[in-house]
């Protein structure tokens, strides 16, 4: 029993040093809220969604990052002029998806690790209503 107790004590002493190492990567998953003024809309547009990011270390100061997101919402668009008998405003269900990739550089200053990255990628926007449908 003494050996087990000593082993636990020894591991707890060195546990802090193990956490002080630079991680091999990072994973982030979270909620995202997007709000914007969009032309031809009744009010400010709000989209709810998710955001995810993966980072893999190449060198202690250099890593590769992949970032993706999805946003969803309904908005009121003004679509005048329409053919006779049509309405001027309509609800549109919209989706926005993004995928970004690129390098990230960082440096450690105690517990602080500032970074800078350059990401490039693509976005896909789609929307539909009872009157029309659009996709990019």
pLDDT 10s digits, 65-100:
999 999 998 877 665 655 555 556 667 788 899 999
- Is 123 contained in some domain? yes
Structural element, H or E, at residue 90: strand 89-106
Total domains present in the chain = 1
Reported pTM: 0.66
Angstrom distance (rounded) from CA 131 to CA 94: 14
Angstrom distance (rounded) from CA 22 to CA 62: 12
Mean pLDDT of the chain: 80
pLDDT band at 38 (very low <50, low <70, confident <90, very high): confident
Q: Which domain holds residue 54?
A: 23-135
For the chain, the first-to-last Cα distance in angstroms comes to: 67
Angstrom distance (rounded) from CA 15 to CA 4: 16
- Is 17 contained in some domain? no
- Is 33 contained in some domain? yes
Residue 51 has pLDDT above 60, yes or no: yes
- Is 49 contained in some domain? yes
Angstrom distance (rounded) from CA 76 to CA 45: 9
Three-state secondary structure call for residue 91: strand
- Is 4 contained in some domain? no
Q: Locate the DSSP E strands across 1-136.
A: 25-36, 45-59, 62-78, 89-106, 115-117, 120-128, 133-135
- Tokens matching residue 113: 């690790």
pLDDT band at 14 (very low <50, low <70, confident <90, very high): low
- Is 5 contained in some domain? no
Angstrom distance (rounded) from CA 59 to CA 127: 42
């Amino acid at each position: 029993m003494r050996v087990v107790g000593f082993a636990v004590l020894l591991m707890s002493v060195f546990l802090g040093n193990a956490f002080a190492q630079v991680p091999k990567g990072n994973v982030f998953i979270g909620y995202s809220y997007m709000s914007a003024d969009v032309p031809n809309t009744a009010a400010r547009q709000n989209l709810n969604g998710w955001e995810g990011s993966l980072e893999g270390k190449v060198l202690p100061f250099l890593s590769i990052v992949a970032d993706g997101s999805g946003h969803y919402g309904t908005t009121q668009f003004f679509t005048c002029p329409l053919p006779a008998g049509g309405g001027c405003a309509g609800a549109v269900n919209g989706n926005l998806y993004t995928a970004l990739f690129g390098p990230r550089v960082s440096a450690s200053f105690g517990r602080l690790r500032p970074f800078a990255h350059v990401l490039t990628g693509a976005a896909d926007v789609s929307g539909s209503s009872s009157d029309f449908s659009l996709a990019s």
